[in-house]
Amino acid sequence: MNQSAMDEAERVAITVDEQGIAQVRLSRADKLNALDSAMFDAIIAAGDRLAEMGDLRCVVLSGAGKAFCSGLDLAMLGTLAGNDLQLAKRSHGNVNWFQQTAMQWRALPVPVIAAVHGVCFGGGLQIAAGADIRVVAPAARLAVMELKWGIVPDMGHFALWRGLVREDVLRELTWTAREFSGDMAHALGFASHVDADPLARATAIAQEIAAKDPAAIRAAKALFNGTADMATDAILLAESVAQDRLLAAKRN
């Protein structure tokens, strides 16, 4: 293993069980899993690795130590401010390098469940937004933190929370950068479930999903991803096409 691969493995740990469930853990616990350049690289590398696993059925995304992710490393924030990043350039399909760390979870062909505890601020909250399902500890602390530092959330925030969080609520929390609890996150639409042990609950959901037909799991994820902005007629046709393919595979 080269040094770059070693650094990535140290920052993000992946284990896959016999059911095809990947446990993906952000592993910079001493810094509350804050996002620096190495962390961004490691998260993207983890997503690339998972995308290539043909027998993968579900992903559980969590953070080691006392937090899910505290957001952008403040040391990196100063560095970014002094550089011309040209963020409008697309480096990964329709997204840039920063956005890929959140958007890749939605793009994976299998369901992703985020288990959130401790703090989940800024970029960390956007990474959680990329998951299909979020299980949050009741005492977790969440915030759309970016405006506190004079920047906007730009890792998929405006795309990923659309339809999940009421727009006026999302606007207020974005503009104020106010913290809210896991209990409140559920009430507001940021969390799918609240549980005192979010990792155990997320894993239990993953096990339930992984017990279903793997082709159907992937087909349903593709339909969720592909039909969000379609007209009704196109959605109905996409459902029928997917079903035809699944039934044809069973006949063969």
Q: Sketch the domain layout of the chain as residue ranges.
A: 3-210, 214-251
For the stretch 21-54, pLDDT in tens is: 999 999 999 999 999 999 999 999 999 999 999 9
How far apart CA 33 and CA 77 sit, in angstroms, is 15
How far apart CA 72 and CA 80 sit, in angstroms, is 11
Residue 119: what are its φ and ψ, rounded to 5°?
A: -95, 145
For the stretch 163-180, pLDDT in tens is: 999 999 999 999 999 999
Could you please report the per-residue DSSP string of 87-135?
A: TTS-SBTTB-HHHHHHHHHHHSSS-EEEEE-SEEETHHHHHHHHSSEEE
For the stretch 53-107, pLDDT in tens is: 999 999 999 999 999 999 999 888 767 766 777 888 889 999 999 999 999 999 9
Among positive and negative, which fits the CA dihedral 201, 204, 209, 214? Answer: positive
How far apart CA 37 and CA 149 sit, in angstroms, is 18
Topology given in CATH for the domain delimited by 3-210: 2-enoyl-CoA Hydratase; Chain A, domain 1 (3.90.226)
